[in-house]
Structure 1
Amino acid sequence: MGLLCLFFAASMPVLKVLLLTAVGSFLALDQINILGPDARKHLNTIVFYVFCPALITSNLAKTITHESMIKLWFMPINILISFIIGSLLGWVVNLLTRPQPHLRGLVIGCCAAGNLGAIPIIIVPAVCKEKGNPFGDRYTCESYGLTYVSLSMAIGAIYLWVYVYNILRLSVQAIPEVIDSSVPECTMEPTNAEQGSLSEAQSSPIRFVRSEDRADALPSTRFDGNKHQLAFTNKIKQHAVELLGKLNLKKLFAPSTNGAIVGFIIGLVPPLRKSMIGDSAPLHVIEDSIMLLGNGAIPLLTLIIGANLLRGLRTLGTPKFMIIGIIVARYIVLPSIGIGVVKAAVRLNLVHADPLYQFVLLLQFALPPAMNIGTMMQLFGKGESECSVILFCCYACALVSLSLWCTFFMWLVG
């Protein structure tokens, strides 16, 4: 298949994303004000709690079986590798560009976490619909493709809230507090009575203390094994509680993760699968309703992305070299390393010979930063404008980058 045909098949989905993103930005303009801050907040809540879990549940329940689970086991490892390599690249960008302390975690997060949810869910089905795609039948391609990207979204959400969230939190909390040097130190002058007692104490002779009193005054140096062991156990419990609190389990079990769990249960439990999946199933109306809700996630997510990126266009002012470093790491270095990772996994028979599955694995290394990073910075109240600028520039460059990489990936696996 010619490269021109592959480029056309790869660029059409990206152009569709761009058009819907432009519509979202247009609706967020002050003159239109349909997707204003309040509207985006409420719409994002509905997508987060309803549409995305429904999309993940319907696609996983329909195609996940015991055989497919054996085939997809490498995907969590592939996403973890992309996060680790991206973090190392973000650390290098920090060394080269030297951003402010509260932005170092943001740089690492943008280099590590790709948009494993909205962008693949839009691109993969759109690629399947193009006539020049190398993945075969449109409906089979779309069905399996949505399964791959739904699992990718669920795993990416776990890594994002467990790993990136805590990196951003530690980076923001590491900002030293500025002490106001203009405030004089609080000094207290001794009173006349205190001065008298002080002089009396200085002029008084040495007083002898009995050994019994001295022994009572000093701390005990005897070693109590039981008390020491109890204190050590209490410290372990305290650290465990602090660690669980820092992991934020509510974010870990996000609605998309819960939707993935429900999808796995329905797909892997034969009685549930027979009763809900398929046109002849007695409860297939439940599957149809969930799928109807999930189909609304793709356009709404794209509109929200466009509305959020408008803020970055208005607040240009972030250091240019830091943005360039993130773009080079995210769109050049990371996809190049990803090709080596996936090809090595194929040669070691860790990945089955499904071109669409390999394409999704490669695509996970070439995606723009996750939009949820902006949500996290809003929660911390630091670096919001810089994050908006970074996301805007990265998504603007994604038009060219994704088209080129998708073309090359399709040629590579086809």
Structure 2
Amino acid sequence: MLRRTTAATDLGFATRQLQPIEVEEPVRSRTTPLYLTAGFPFDAFDESAEHFRTGDGYSYTRVANPTITAVERRIADLEGGADAVLVGSGQAAIVVALLGLVGAGDHVLAGASMYEGTRGLLLEELARLGVTTDFVAGNDPDAWRAAIRPETRAVLLESIPNPRNDLPDLQAIADVAHERGIALVVDSTLATPYLLRPIEHGADLVVHSASKFLAGQGAVLGGAIVDAGTFDATRSGHLYPHLTAPSRVGGPSRVDRHGPLARIAHIRDSVAVRLGPTISPLNAFLVGQGIETLSLRVERQSSNALAIATFLHDHPAVASVDYSGLPSSPYRALADRYLPRGQGSVFAFTVHGGEVAARRVVDALALFTPMTHLGDVRSLILHPRTTSHTQRTEAELGLAGIEAGTLRVSIGIEDVADLVRDLERGLAVASA
């Protein structure tokens, strides 16, 4: 049954075309309902006042939206976290997570292998805000311990570094961070919660570019921040006074209101809401749809990637392959420990002949698409030196292992025999 509170005969045409006719019966959807709306009406004056007093319910999509909430809860559950916040992109997720922890005068300690967008954020944008960053290579706990400063507020890692696959020892580095009460933030975009759940190994916050494997189809952007829900004010409160101090108007602190969820509550209610990197409910819906096939895709992609890495490792035109699943990888032991279900599907390989040979490979391929994306169901390829890493100096490229002939691939779910034949053709052209 449909209803409108005022009879149609009492209203003008322009009014009738704007005012909704509501469906009275409760309706249930088999999939997550899509609430594609900027805001939500209140039924009465007191309801709006109660919402702004308690935060319960929905008022405006920048603050909360039922579609977005449903996907946030799904991602938090898959990661083994207590709560999650969805934002407009993976880059927004990194920014929001870090700004929930650091301020002017603070320090970030990051893994040396880092996505270029994150590296630029740390070295340029956050530096302009008075936040400094140092990078640590390798997994020696003493090296990480020595690099921590009194003002360090975040340790940042990638669970599968892009594109080198030089895996971090998550638990060892988490232990070092937690000795000082510092939060460990792990970008786990390339692993996904199907292959690895960093919270189980000591991570406090996990971030994802949901545009990649979580969505899977390469059609939408999104980012996610998952909190372990273990903020300990006794151990860490002195490092994060914005969580323990009374509110600006003298109200209770985040810890008083949210306890161990104080960190994610601040990220949601202050950082994300005020900076405004809101994800569209439509994009959240499509990310949620992608998550429903996550395990199937990632299992196939990882299997394909191992087969292709093995093929490349044995090919005479290939100088090296950086894939942690190979028996020859120096990170194979860590892969066995942290990634027993599969080692992911993004990795680098280097061809003999430098940039000339790399160009010939890329231009000869028919099934690999050259583009700056990852985690698609389709296979992708990129030349880092002339694209993603073009702002690095020669010395920085050398330290990162990005050579003139290095190519990065993101393996899809195509028939692996077809992908191998495509690479065989490309490598033959390069060799010739």
* Alignment TM-score, normalising by the size of structure 1: 0.22
More RCO (CA 8 Å, sep 6+): 1
Which structure carries more helix by proportion?
Answer: 1
* Structure number, greater radius of gyration: 1
* Alignment TM-score, normalising by the size of structure 2: 0.21
